[in-house]
Amino acid sequence: MSETTLVLIKPGAVDRGLIGEVVRRIEARGLRLAGLKLIQPERATVEEHYAEHKGKPFYDGICTSLSTAPIVAMAVKGENAVLAIRTMMGATKPVEAAPGTVRGDLGLTIEDNVCHSAATSDDAQRELGIWFPEGLL
């Protein structure tokens, strides 16, 4: 089943020059880009994106982090793209992520865990609407 999912490359990874490495891995897997932009989003956009985490100890920090430096938003499409991308990214805590995954190879701390990716197809639809209201190619 072909589907489209949302990936954010977080500020730390952008600052470390890892945009190309993350995109390379996604394209090498056989997935394709349907949207790609380098942006510094409004805080309100990030708060909407992370609404399910509102009230958690890390909510303010992650919202500040993603709205005060450039990030990359990507729409990624292909067979089972949601699960394929989640598996490629690895565990949320990079220290627990398997080698070979993006976080397992490129991340170390949860505050700088390289990427966000949508957890489910429903989340992907909601998140794509937030980051790509203009639509996809």
What is the closest distance, in whole angstroms, from the C-beta atom of residue 116 to ligand CMP in the complex? Answer: 3
116 binds ligand CMP (CB under 6 A): yes
Report how far residue 38's alpha carbon sits from residue 56's, in angstroms, rounded to the nearest whole number: 27
Cα dist from 27 to 20, 22, 23, 104, whole Å: 10, 9, 6, 18
How many residues form the binding site for ligand CMP (CB under 6 A)?
A: 8
Q: Using CB under 6 A, which of the segments 20-28, 36-44, 76-84, 111-119 binds ligand CMP?
A: 111-119
Query: Is 73 in contact with 131 (CB distance < 8 Å)?
Result: yes
Residue in this structure with the two tokens 């708060």, named with its chain if needed? 47
Pairing of strands 115-117, 2-9: antiparallel
Tell me which residue has tokens 């429903």: 122
**Between residues 42 and 137, which has the closer beta carbon with respect to ligand CMP?**
42
Give yes or no for residue 114 binding ligand CMP (CB under 6 A).
Answer: no
Which of 6, 7, 62, 118 touches ligand CMP by CB under 6 A? 62
Site residues, ligand CMP (CB under 6 A): 53, 58, 62, 92, 110-111, 113, 116
